[in-house]
Chain A
Amino acid sequence: MGDKTDVWQGTLSLMVLRTLETMGAQHGYGLARRIEQTSGDMLQLNYGTLYPALLKLEQEGFIRSKWGVSDNNRKAKFYELTRAGHRQLKKAAADWEQTTAILARFLTPANES
Chain B
Amino acid sequence: MRPIRILAHRLLGLFRAHRADADFSAELESNVAMHTDDLVRAGLTPTEARRQALIRLGGAEQTRQAHRERRTLPWIESLLRDLTYAARTLAKHRGTTAIAILSIGLGIGANATIFSMVSRFVLRPAPMGDPTTLLALHTTHDGDRCCNPFSWPLYNQLRSDAKSFSGVAAYYELIPSSITGQSNPERVWGQGVSSNFFSVAQLPMQLGRGFVHGDENAPVVVLGSALWHRQFNADPRIIGKPITLSGHSYTVVGVVSPAFHGADQILYTEFWVPMSNVARLVPNLPNQESLESHWVEVLARLAPGVTRKEAGAELKTLTDHYALAFPKTENNGSIVFEQAGSLPSNVRANVVLFFAALSIVVLLVLSIAATNVANLLFAQAAPRQRDMAVRLAMGASAARLRRQLLVESLLMGLGGGCLGILLSLVADAALSSSQLPAPVPLDIQIGVDWRVLVYTLLLSIVSGTLLGVAPAWAASRPKLINALKGEDALARPGRRFTMRNLLVVVQIAMSVILLCITGLFLRSLQSASSINIGFRPKNILLASIDPRVDGYTAERTQQFIAMLRRQIAAIPGVDSVAVTDVAPLTDGNRSESFVAPGHTPTNSSGAGADLYMVTPDYFETLGIPRVSDSDFGSGGATGPRTAIVNRAFVDAVFGGENPLGQQVIGGGTTYQVIGVADNSKSRSLGEETRPILYRSLDRSIAEDPSLMGYTLLIHTVVDPNSVRDTVRRQIQSLDPTLAIYNEETMDEHVRTAYFLPRLAAELFGTFGFIGLVLAAVGLYSVMSYSVSRRTREIGIRMALGAQPGTVERLILRQGMVLTLIALVLGWPAAWMLAKMASSFLYGIQPNDALTFALVPPFLAVIALVACYIPARRAAAVDPMRALRAE
Are A52 and B57 in contact, with the CB atoms below 8 A?
no
Are A72 and B34 in contact, with the CB atoms below 8 A?
yes
Question: Which chain B residues (161-181) contact chain A, with CB distance < 8 Å?
Answer: none
Supposing A46-B56, A47-B58 touch, asked if A74 and B70 sit within 8 A by C-beta, the answer is: no
In the complex, A90 Cα to B5 Cα: how many Å?
A: 21
In the complex, A69 Cα to B280 Cα: how many Å?
A: 92
Q: How far is the CB of B23 from chain A (nearest CB, A)?
A: 8
Among B6, B34, B60, B71, which residue has its beta carbon within 8 angstroms of that of A48? B60
Supposing A59-B5, A59-B9, A77-B27 touch, asked if A48 and B37 sit within 8 A by C-beta, the answer is: no
In the complex, A83 Cα to B6 Cα: how many Å?
A: 17
Q: How far is the CB of B7 from chain A (nearest CB, A)?
A: 9
A contact patch SS: helix
B9 to chain A: closest residue by CB: A59
Are B57 and A46 in contact, with the CB atoms below 8 A?
yes
Among B2, B60, B63, B67, which residue has its beta carbon within 8 angstroms of that of A60? B2
Q: How far is the CB of A29 from chain B (nearest CB, A)?
A: 4
Supposing A29-B35, A60-B6, A61-B5 touch, asked if A48 and B30 sit within 8 A by C-beta, the answer is: no
Are A28 and B31 in contact, with the CB atoms below 8 A?
yes
Supposing A27-B34, A75-B30 touch, asked if A47 and B56 sit within 8 A by C-beta, the answer is: yes
Among B5, B33, B70, which residue has its beta carbon within 8 angstroms of that of A52? B70
Among A32, A52, A61, A74, which residue has its beta carbon within 8 angstroms of that of B67? A52
Interface size on A, residues (CB 8 A): 22
Are A51 and B59 in contact, with the CB atoms below 8 A?
no
Q: How far is the CB of B612 from chain A (nearest CB, A)?
A: 83
> Does any Cβ of B come within 8 Å of A56's Cβ?
yes
Interface string of B547-570 (1 = CB under 8 A from A): 000000000000000000000000
> Does any Cβ of A come within 8 Å of B62's Cβ?
yes
Residues in B with CB closer than 8 Å to A93 are none
B contact patch SS: helix
Interface string of A68-81 (1 = CB under 8 A from B): 00101011110000
Interface size on B, residues (CB 8 A): 26
Residues in B with CB closer than 8 Å to A48 are 28, 57-60, 62-63, 66
Q: How far is the CB of B15 from chain A (nearest CB, A)?
A: 15
Among B6, B9, B31, B60, which residue has its beta carbon within 8 angstroms of that of A29? B31
Are A27 and B30 in contact, with the CB atoms below 8 A?
yes
Residues in B with CB closer than 8 Å to A100 are none
In the complex, A73 Cα to B467 Cα: how many Å?
A: 62
Are A29 and B59 in contact, with the CB atoms below 8 A?
no
Residues in A with CB closer than 8 Å to B9 are 59
Q: Which residues of A contact B (CB under 8 A)?
A: 27-30, 32, 46-49, 51-52, 55-56, 59-61, 70, 72, 74-77
8 A-B pairs with the lowest CB-CB distances in the bound complex, closest first? A46-B58, A48-B63, A48-B58, A59-B9, A29-B31, A76-B30, A52-B66, A29-B34
19 residue pairs of the A-B complex, CB under 8 angstroms, read A27-B34, A29-B30, A29-B34, A47-B58, A48-B58, A48-B60, A49-B66, A55-B71, A59-B6, A59-B10, A60-B2, A61-B2, A70-B30, A72-B34, A75-B26, A75-B30, A76-B27, A76-B34, A77-B27
